[in-house]
Structure formats: C-alpha cells, structure tokens
Amino acid sequence: MAEPLDLEWLVDKRICLLNTHNPVESRPVQERLEAFGFSLVVTVRDYDGTSSWGLPDSTLRHYQCCFCDYWHPTARDLHDLNEYCLCELAHGRDVPIWIEHARVRRGVASSIRSFFEPGIADLDSFIKASLASQRDRALALPPVEKLTRCQACLDRGCMTDLACHATSVETAATILASGRILSACRARQLPGEVLAREPRNAAGDPPDYFNYVMFGAGNCPGLDKLIYERVIGHPPSWEEFEENFQPAVKFFFRTLDLVMHPDFCSDGHHQAKIRDELLLEPLLAFAIIPEGLPGSTDLMGLAKEQAFAAKIVSRDFSGYGVKEWARMAYCEAKQSVDN
C-alpha cells in the first residue's frame, strides 16, 4: 500500500501544503498525488524562472513557481500565486503546493490563508466575486518596471510595460485579415477538451486555457521558442532553438490597456489573458514581422493594407541570436510606444 500523503490544508480541502519530498524528483510522490485526485502540483524554490508544463510520465501539470526575491517574496509575488490558486479553484482543480524551505512556507501559507479567509463560509461565491475583481487587485499593486523572477533574457527580468502575443506567419495572416486575435477555441472552432488532448499541447494545459488569448512579457525570448515548438512538434532545448532560430511574429500591447479590457483575466503566470478574442484596434501598440520566413513577404504586404499599418514593421533576423532578437523587438516596440 502506498504511503499516505502528508497534507497541511490551508483552504477548505482545496489548497494544501505538501510535507513530502519534492514531487518533481519523486515518482512515488507523483503517484500518490495522482491517486488522491490532483491534476497539478506547484513547487516553490529558488528557481531561475517560472514555467507550467506536464511532468514526464505523469498526469500532473507542474507549475514551477519562483519569486523576485525567494527569501523575501514581494507583494506582487504573493499576489500572483494567490491569483494562480484562485483560477485553478475556479475550474475545479485543487492545488497542492510544495515549498522547499520552512521560512518561505510560512510566508506563503499566511498569504494564501489571508486571501481566502473572507470566503471560507461560501467559497464558491467568494471565487466568483474574486474573479470579477481581479482588475482592481492588479491596479492596486505597487508598480514595478521589471520582474526578476525569470532571468533568461538579456534584461535579466520580465519588463512589465508591454505585453506580447507571439504567433506563426500563417496565424498572423489570419489575425491581420480579420483584425482580431482569437483564442484557440474560437480560431479552430473546437472545444478546449479536444485541444487539450492534442499532441501539440506539450505543456499539458487544461481545457479552459484554450478559451483565452495569452500574453507574455514584451521582452521574453520564450515566446519565440514556444511558437517554434509548435512548428517542429516537440519542446526544443535552448541550444537547438539557437541553432535553428526562427523568430515569431509579435503583436505588442500596453499591459495597462489589457488590464483595463473588460475580458481581462489574471492567472498569476501570464502577463495577461483576454477571454475569447482581442480586437487589434484600438489597442495594438506595435507589431514586428521577421523577414525571410516563408510567407513573411506576403504578410507584410497584407499589413500595409491595414489602417494600423504604421504600427507594423518587418526586420531581418539574420545575425541575431534568440535573446538579442527578443531585446531588439521589445526595444523597438517601446520606442514606438513612447514616441
């Protein structure tokens, strides 16, 4: 018989701390989590970046969570983890959290308890009301120029002023022709349950994720890597991606404009999410098309026909590395917005 899980419940048998070995490094712990009915696990330690990905040979989705200052989580760090838990509960997924050090555990546990405590008597109603007030909480956060949780880019952190949606040339043509970015469910006219089962969903995203248009930090090189992954059908290493570098088409928006959108959502992981679709006008701030990709010339021709053509440029990516291209695209977008 498998050893029972040692759980410390924080919120009404829905959010708990794991008193176990690191689940990512222990298949027996993963099996016990699966047997208990969990579909995800959060781990918090001094990582060099955040990610959400399916664990190999497991049904669990792993949210790798790190903070700007691991030993002293900021208000935004704790806010984002609370929002992550909120969104998971809203879609019926209970949240087990493993945290490496007791000192950090105490701070995170206190934050989660404080956030959910007003709703313990009627958690479902609290979740619904809290989703409706995400914008207010986002606007109340102290402004910061850069989040240093992930330092995989040349800026050593995620710039917060601009958010980016990256896509392939083919999909970008559809976006420009229609004047809108669609969620995967809207674009492909398929339910999230079907999309979640596709092999291309290497991240193990759950069905509800496909109802949203996703945005990352404007300077993030990982966005290009994600689109390349869909082209080749497997997650490339950074070395493989650098060797075969193909940047994505990028659409930039002011993060504040997205937060103010009526269909804004925060899952604590993405820079922003918009349900169903986002019209390019009037919010598009800038777009960049990499020259030399198949179809890029026709795409630029289509861009020139749009009312917002002045916001779209094409640039040759030869001579750029992954990180250098991401920084160049962000800096040009920022310069365009600031002017």
Residue range 102-143, pLDDT digits in tens: 999 999 999 999 999 999 999 999 999 999 999 999 999 999
* Total domain count, the chain: 2
Say yes or no: 186 and 310 in one domain: yes
Final residue in a domain of this structure, among 140, 163, 198: 140
What is the pLDDT confidence band of residue 1, given thresholds at 50, 70 and 90? very low
Residues 154 and 133 reside in one and the same domain: no
* Same structural domain, 61 and 26: yes
pLDDT in tens, 144-186: 999 999 888 888 899 999 999 999 999 999 999 999 999 999 9
CATH of the domain at 30: 3.90.190
State residue 3's pLDDT score.
Answer: 65
80 and 165, same structural domain? no
102-116 and 75-90 helices, crossing angle to 10°: 60
Note the pLDDT of residue 66.
94
Please tell me the predicted confidence (pLDDT) of residue 242: 87
Q: Which range of residues forms the domain containing residue 273?
A: 149-338
Residue 157 lies in a domain: yes
Q: Quick one: 25 and 96 in the same domain? A: yes
Least confident of 234-248, 278-292, 300-314: 234-248
192 and 127 housed in the same domain: no
- In this predicted model, which residue has the larger pLDDT, 4 or 305? 305
| DSSP reduced 3-state for 202 | coil
Is residue 175 located within the same domain as residue 308? yes
What is the per-residue pLDDT across 39-78, written as a single tens digit (0 to 9) for each?
999 999 999 888 898 899 999 999 999 999 999 999 999 9
Distance CA 234, CA 101 (A): 34
Looking at the fold, whether 161 and 39 belong to one and the same domain comes out as no
**pLDDT value for 201:** 82
Q: Does 1 fall in a domain?
A: no
Predicted local confidence at residue 339, as pLDDT = 84
Flag whether 181 is in a domain: yes
In a domain, 2, yes or no: no
Give the model's pLDDT for residue 257. 98
- Per the structure block, which two tokens stand in for 284? 């598009």
The pair phi, psi for residue 335, each rounded to 5°, is: -60, -40
Helices (H), the chain: 27-36, 75-90, 102-116, 123-132, 134-140, 169-178, 184-188, 192-196, 222-232, 238-243, 255-259, 296-303, 322-338
Q: Peptide bond before 142: cis, by omega within 30 degrees of 0?
A: no
Q: Is 318 among the domain residues?
A: yes
Residues 123 and 18 in one domain: yes
Question: Is 257 inside a domain boundary?
Answer: yes
Strands 61-65 and 40-44 turn out to be parallel
Closest CA to 135 of 253, 255, 260, 254: 260
* Rounded Cα distance, 77 and 196, in Å: 28
